[in-house]
Amino acid sequence: MKKLISYNVNGIRSALNKGFAEWLKSENPDLICLQETKAQQEHIELDLFKDLGYNIYSISAKKKGYSGVAVLTKISPDHVKYGMDNPKYDDEGRLLQLDFGDLSFLGVYIPSGTMGDVRQQFKMEFLSDFQKYIDNLRKIRPNLIISGDYNICHKPIDINHPEKHTKSSGFLPEERAWFDGFIDSGFTDTFRVFDQSPEKYSWWSFRAGSRHKNLGWRIDYHLVTNTLDKRLKGAGILTDVTHSDHAPVVVEIDF
């Protein structure tokens, strides 16, 4: 069994200043995928993570201090692929794929649409192209774990006061319909296999004491192809971990 974590760190250097490395050492996942690293590879403290037993793979945005995905792993991958063969998204550092035997792990950072109509349109285009990309990938790599910040609350249970957010990016009907379709194409939301309770969130605004009041959104997921359902052993959200406005999300799976 392996423990996998996904964590939007909202800047790796900021997280390191808040004790991220010490937490990582004690938590000791086999693999952790980071989103929103906001750093080029040369700005990531590789030796620090190597000393903890991790190899690090990362894809950065061309725009400095923006976006980016990294995977730290104690399991050696057979192959690593950077991006999804589309510069429109790859220039923003949105996707990283590591193959391990019969499994492929994908770390994804789906765009946010909160900055206005142009970015919301970009997000919807990404979602459409991402679905096509995954559909094609599954023809050759049928066992997928896709972990990351999806920037979408799938169902009303995944957001505080859902009635207040029906016009908010991240809970729009068209985004949730995309999520429905993605799940229906053959994926499992691993957290909900083990926990169907409400008020379980992975992101809180920095404003108005949202985290203290638990006015959160669940937008970070480990989705796995249905082929892996029987290999799932556990899942959870580490809400007490506070290097970021997100919490790390965990899945345990037979690799």
Q: Which of 78, 117, 149, 184 is catalytic?
A: 149
- Active site annotation includes 149: yes
Band of the pLDDT at 115, cuts 50, 70, 90? confident
Q: What is the pLDDT of residue 72?
A: 97
For the chain, domain boundaries: 2-253
70-114 per-position pLDDT tens digit: 999 999 999 999 999 999 999 999 999 999 999 999 999 999 998
- Interatomic CA distance for residues 141 and 101, integer angstroms: 10
Number of alpha carbons in the 13 Å side-chain half-sphere of residue 248:
22
- Interatomic CA distance for residues 67 and 195, integer angstroms: 30
Largest CA distance in the chain: 47
- Interatomic CA distance for residues 42 and 218, integer angstroms: 31
Beta carbons within 10 angstroms of residue 112's beta carbon: 18
The pTM for the full model equals 0.97
169-183 per-position pLDDT tens digit: 999 999 999 999 999
222-251 per-position pLDDT tens digit: 999 999 999 999 999 999 999 999 999 999
- Interatomic CA distance for residues 27 and 164, integer angstroms: 36
* Mean pLDDT of the region 202-222: 96
29-79 per-position pLDDT tens digit: 999 999 999 998 777 877 889 999 999 999 999 999 899 999 999 999 999
Q: Which fold has domain 2-253?
A: Deoxyribonuclease I; Chain A (3.60.10)
Query: Is residue 191's pLDDT more than 90?
Result: yes
**CB under 8 Å to 42, separation ≥6 — which residues?**
none
141-161 per-position pLDDT tens digit: 999 999 999 999 999 999 999
Band of the pLDDT at 20, cuts 50, 70, 90? very high
